[in-house]
Amino acid sequence: MLRERIFKTVAEEVRHAYQLAEPADADDPEMDVELVWALHASIFYLGMRKWVYKSGLPKVANALIKTLIEGFIGAMKQRRRADGLSTKMQGKK
């Protein structure tokens, strides 16, 4: 359910928001969805640490989440460069 309803949409919206090229073939979006899963898992696990394991959150939790999101967006951009897929608008970073 998460994968089909949310994660694919998140990947599509990030590609749209940052004007990244659409997937070149049917297998290409799979990695984008896996990157969304990884971001979700990282943030979800912070909640597990706090509520299930009762270990609390790091004092830098907000900065950590911001860094995770920036890393996710950077990975989406890097994938397009590594795959030889340019942004829709030349020179846009």
- pLDDT on residue 25: 77
How far apart CA 9 and CA 21 sit, in angstroms, is 15
- pLDDT on residue 84: 60
* pLDDT for residue 69 is more than 60: yes
* pLDDT for residue 8 is more than 90: yes
Tokens of 41: 């898992």
- pLDDT on residue 90: 43
Q: pTM, whole model, 2 decimals? A: 0.81
Confidence of residue 85 (pLDDT cuts 50, 70, 90): low
Q: Where are the domains of the chain?
A: 2-82
In whole numbers, what is the pLDDT of the chain averaged over residues? 88
| Cα-Cα end-to-end distance for the chain | 32
| Torsion on CA atoms 16, 93, 79, 28, rounded to nearest 10 | 30
- pLDDT on residue 32: 94
Tokens of 42: 């990282």
Tokens of 78: 């890097």
Give the model confidence (pLDDT) of 13-23 as tens digits: 999 999 998 88
